[in-house]
Amino acid sequence: MYSELIFKVALRGETLLTSPRWNKGTAFTKEERNDFGLTGRLPSRINTIEEQCDRAYDQLHSRDTPIQRNSFLQSLKEQNWVLYYSLLSRHLKELTSIIYTPTEAEAIENYSHLFRRSEGLFLTFPDQDSMEEDFLEQTRGKDIELIVCTDAEAILGIGDQGVGISSAKSAIYTLLGGINPAKAFSVTLDVGTDNERLLSDQLYVGWPSRRVRGDEYDKFIDKFVQLIRKHHPHCLLHFEDFGVTNAQRLLELYRNEHSVFNDDIQGTGAVTLAALMAAIGVTKSKLADQRYVIFGAGSAGLGIAKQTGVSREEANKKFYLVDRFGLIKQSLGPNKIRPALQEFVRPDQEWSDIPTNDAGEVELLEVVRKVRPTVLIGCSTKGGAFTERVVRAMKEGCKRPIIFPLSNPSNLVEVDPKDANDWTEGMALLATGSPFPPAKMPNGKDYVIAECNNALIYPGLGFGSMLSQSRQMTDGMIIAGAQRLAALSPALKDPDSGLLPDFQDAPAANLEVAIAVAQQAFDEGIQGVSWGREEVRTKAEDKQWKPAYGRYEYDEQGAK
Ligand SMILES: NC(=O)c1ccc[n+]([C@@H]2O[C@H](COP(=O)([O-])OP(=O)(O)OC[C@H]3O[C@@H](n4cnc5c(N)ncnc54)[C@H](O)[C@@H]3O)[C@@H](O)[C@H]2O)c1
Ligand SMILES: O=C(O)C[C@H](O)C(=O)O
Ligand SMILES: [Mg+2]
């Protein structure tokens, strides 16, 4: 059906072959080779997309390590989008872990050494006078619907990397969400780095200066946001991996004036809410009846705590937050408790009979022993923090503990799910942030470890907001997306199945999320489109970008 697509294209010869958006390589037909000045520029044989994928897959497998495969795929993306996304779609699970978490962490850590060709826009602090000009140079005439930006201060769990991540997140929008890559754009906001390794690396490609903070930082970010509001008022602005002191603050600052979305806060909150809903479906209980311990009270931890929809008054009863100074309790004082954590601070007297460490902190194990939580979530960046004693204490406190070690990449997971499964005799309901193989239940059956990664929901949240052209991404839209994802949980049919849909089904799950989000925008009356709510599903299906070549006709006025 896609071969019926006809595109009017204005590029010829070498420029056509070097345009990743339009290049077809050996798949250009005879007629196209004649019309676009390509005869003599390509070998004779005309390949189908299937043949091209087979060849690329063989080439990929001649690379031995995940990082070599990541570099290969990056080059393929720079050459031919249709081939790149076709190949990824055909081997979705295998290759998502190569272009995204966990391999992406290694690619970003080594970005300056692996660097070959830049992608997206780099806005660098000392060059801010030309910000608008630089922005327009790359975006002029383009119908941009999505901008993914990062300042790379808190990349996954590997911290400050100066530059990185937004292009991988953007590729996932296309792969799992069906967003047209020609309408998406990734931006690196380079405000320096405090990473000593990068600062002393002669090959570091970013701005080799300490991170700009305070007023100067805020003004720089504001200049960027206002630029988007001016030139692309309908476009969704996605923030990724900002530092803990900025993420929530920037979201609150802009979310009422533009459609902005913080993935680590809202995307993680939403996917975890979906996994929690599925887990309580298995335990036949209610969200409001859980006792939660969240280990790592940063962007993700707080996003999760807030997304459960528990009211402010209830929060202090249900949630126990533990961070690098142990339990968040009154006597830690303002230097150790960020203002955003205020509503979760525990009174000291509640803990007066509990042993502390030498620094006077209440450690995770003690918190678990006292609270007997039903839910333990890790987003601390501290690999192995859920020790055997902690996990066994969870099991002592309730029959089916819900344990989600969400830190990425894989080596930072708070507990290997296989161990958590063994230590709880298969009773824990588990989900992780990175992909893990199934664990063995005591009865010999496989227990599927759900991948509770925001990629299972953020492409759908974004697509739903773009589809409805809502000027805001509201909490209602996010919760509607989470509820729809939870309803797709395989565990609702078989309690031993994964809590969330398998990544193989991520495109279908994200489409459902998008539909729910757009319908919710209609229900809240904030849609910006003139068609009706009953058309949401058809419009969503029509709008999805699929990697397919179509037929090209040369036209000087056509697309470039
Ligand atoms: N699965 C997902 O979809 C998903 C989404 C977002 C983040 N994450 C992961 O969660 C982790 C945190 O991400 P974030 O964006 O919230 O980062 P963040 O920097 O905003 O927060 C990290 C928090 O952990 C705390 N912390 C650091 N060391 C600790 C320790 N030893 N003990 C206890 N707490 C400690 C920090 O003080 C901070 O509050 C990362 O590993 C990230 O990859 C996973
Ligand atoms: O990037 C991911 O894999 C998920 C999340 O956004 C993270 O920061 O870990
Ligand atoms: Mg992130």
Kindly report, residue by residue over 425-448, the tens digit of the pLDDT.
999 999 999 999 999 999 999 999
pLDDT band at 405 (very low <50, low <70, confident <90, very high): very high
Ligand number with the minimum distance to the CA of 341: 1
**Is the CB of residue 246 below 6 angstroms from any atom belonging to ligand 2?**
no
Nearest to 249 by CA among 219, 218, 228: 218
- Looking at residue 112, its pLDDT comes to 96
Contact yes or no for 423/391 (Cβ under 8 A): yes
Gap from CA of 298 to ligand 1 centroid (Å): 6
User: Percent of the chain scored above 90 by pLDDT?
Assistant: 91
Beta-bridge mates of residue 326: 323
Contact yes or no for 425/442 (Cβ under 8 A): yes
Gap from CA of 177 to ligand 2 centroid (Å): 16
Average pLDDT of the chain is 95
Helix axes 81-90, 92-99, angle to 10 degrees: 120
- Looking at residue 315, its pLDDT comes to 65
Choosing from 85, 100, 292, 458, the catalytic residue is 100
Mean pLDDT, rounded, for 233-245: 95
For a mutational test of ligand 1's pocket, the pick from 249, 302, 379, 404, i.e. the residue with the most ligand atoms closer than 8 A to its C-beta, is: 379
For a mutational test of ligand 2's pocket, the pick from 108, 109, 169, 241, i.e. the residue with the most ligand atoms closer than 8 A to its C-beta, is: 241
**What sign for the dihedral angle of Cα 200, 205, 209, 210?**
negative
pLDDT band at 173 (very low <50, low <70, confident <90, very high): very high
pLDDT band at 1 (very low <50, low <70, confident <90, very high): very low
The predicted-structure confidence for 520-560, as pLDDT tens digits, reads as follows 999 999 999 999 999 999 999 999 999 999 999 999 998 88
* Burial grade of 312 (CB within 10 A; 0-12, 13-18, 19 or more): exposed
378 in helix, strand or coil? strand
CA atoms of 458 and 479, how far apart (whole Å): 12
Q: Is 178 left (phi over 0), alpha (psi -120 to 50) or beta?
A: left
- Over 90: is that where the pLDDT of 52 sits? yes
Supply 344's token pair.
Answer: 């979760």
CA atoms of 297 and 329, how far apart (whole Å): 13
Contact yes or no for 72/60 (Cβ under 8 A): yes
Matching residue, tokens 């970003």: 108
The predicted-structure confidence for 100-130, as pLDDT tens digits, reads as follows 999 999 999 999 999 999 999 999 999 999 9
Ligand number with the minimum distance to the CA of 271: 1
- Looking at residue 386, its pLDDT comes to 98
* Burial grade of 438 (CB within 10 A; 0-12, 13-18, 19 or more): middle
Gap from CA of 68 to ligand 3 centroid (Å): 23
Number of H helices, E strands in the chain: 23, 16
- Looking at residue 471, its pLDDT comes to 84
User: Percent of the chain scored above 70 by pLDDT?
Assistant: 98
CA atoms of 149 and 210, how far apart (whole Å): 20
pLDDT band at 311 (very low <50, low <70, confident <90, very high): low
**Is the CB of residue 361 below 6 angstroms from any atom belonging to ligand 2?**
no
Provide the CB-side half-sphere exposure for 426 (13 A, CA): 14
The predicted-structure confidence for 94-104, as pLDDT tens digits, reads as follows 999 999 999 99
**Is the CB of residue 104 below 6 angstroms from any atom belonging to ligand 2?**
no
DSSP 294-316: EE--SHHHHHHHHHT---HHHHH
Q: Is 100 a catalytic residue?
A: yes
Contact yes or no for 174/134 (Cβ under 8 A): no
Mean pLDDT, rounded, for 236-243: 97
The predicted-structure confidence for 352-374, as pLDDT tens digits, reads as follows 999 999 989 999 999 999 999 99
pLDDT band at 16 (very low <50, low <70, confident <90, very high): very high
- Over 90: is that where the pLDDT of 298 sits? yes
Q: Is 328 left (phi over 0), alpha (psi -120 to 50) or beta?
A: beta
Mean pLDDT, rounded, for 230-252: 95
- Which residues sit with Cβ closer than 5 angstroms to ligand 3, an ion? 241, 264
Cα angle, residue 7 at apex, residues 4 and 12 outer, rounded to 5°:
130
- Over 60: is that where the pLDDT of 157 sits? yes
Gap from CA of 380 to ligand 1 centroid (Å): 4
**Is the CB of residue 169 below 6 angstroms from any atom belonging to ligand 1?**
no
Q: Which residues contact 551 (CB under 8 A, 6 or more apart)?
A: 3, 4, 5, 6, 7, 29, 32
- Over 60: is that where the pLDDT of 3 sits? no
Whole-number Cα distances in Å, 106 to 113, 122, 438: 11, 21, 24
Supply φ then ψ for residue 460, to 5 degrees.
-70, -40
- Over 70: is that where the pLDDT of 310 sits? no
